[in-house]
Structure 1
Amino acid sequence: MIISDNRASGDGVDVLTDVDFALFSDTIFTLPTVPATPSIPTTPPAAPVIKNLTFKGGKKADGLIGGKGNDYLNGGLGNDRLTGGDGQDTFAFSSKLSPKNVDWLVDFKHSDDTIRLSKAIFSKLKKGILSEDAFCIGAKAHHKSDRIIFNEKTGALSYDADGSDTKYAAVKFAQLNPKTLLNADDFLIA
């Protein structure tokens, strides 16, 4: 793991690369002086509560796990496993679509969470909340206006640039649990 801290005070944004596992905290623990005959504490110190995390995966398969706050998870490239945890989480998609770049949204909740789609990648969608005409539940697009297709039987979430599956084939970009409650207002295009 490589951590780049851009400010001497420790405040600000840190950049992490090549991370296999990480646990973050804004709490500083001061360790006591060790006595000549050390004793083992009977209870460990309480773990800090971590909220409002931002994660971006790399080029390979990543496992990103949010905390109790409103987390932002972007898997980047690769087939990633994204878990938001509690809170109002955002699952972001801003990398080129391909069968080698399908993220699993482990715990997406319609009542709390948002799927954010990059306008640069999902170019046939209008910015803002996804229109109901551009959202379809089923195995494939039913109308030329359908762009985001959710197969609630399998949990596959796909993008069809022309709504016809002829000129542009639908591309699966995410996997949700089958029968997940999902509709157009769960998507933000930015």
Structure 2
Amino acid sequence: MEMNVTDLAVTRGGMRVLEAVSFRVSAGRAVVLRGPNGIGKTTLLRTLAGLQLADSGSVEPGPEAMAYASHADGIKATLSVRENLTFWAKLHGMLDISNALRDFNLETLVERPAGSLSAGQKRRLGLARMAVTGRPIWLLDEPTVSLDTDSVALFASAVERHLAQGGRAVIATHIDLGLDGEVLQLGPFKAEAPEDPHEDFHEAFL
């Protein structure tokens, strides 16, 4: 099943930031989102994940096929590494966390409270959540933040394994991860600023 994004328009803070965004992601492929800070990469990913509504356009399949990792690691500090991953696995109807532990080099940290991990270790744990969801499409927002060179390579390998198993990925990153896919520059999809930024405000009282 392909992921199809068609004529998508997204809004941040009441202002449209991107419009007419269209792309496809076939099984085993990745799309890397590129563009300057503030162009709307995070907003686009949140919309794809179903966390906010699109202004217009369509995304297929729906949010039930998506696993989203944002800047926040999404982990519980008082739970161990094992408990964190087990919680997320059960939430998505999965049981096995062994591959996630191996792929993100967490096997020696399984009993450590997440709150005691270094920033890079926390980031690896947060990303490992993707591997226990069982969902075919990974949406990743600047996933290599706080990762050293070795951990970036580890992450890229984990994504490659996901793709090799027929998964798909949409990733906002400025780093070349060497993945099988294409780069989507968001500049051409930047929405034009309205001539009168108060136009909608005025019309609301007409």
Bigger share in helix: 2
TM superposition score normalised by structure 1: 0.25
The two structures have a TM-score, normalised by structure 2, of 0.24
Report which structure shows greater RCO (CA 8 Å, sep ≥6): 2
Larger Rg: 1
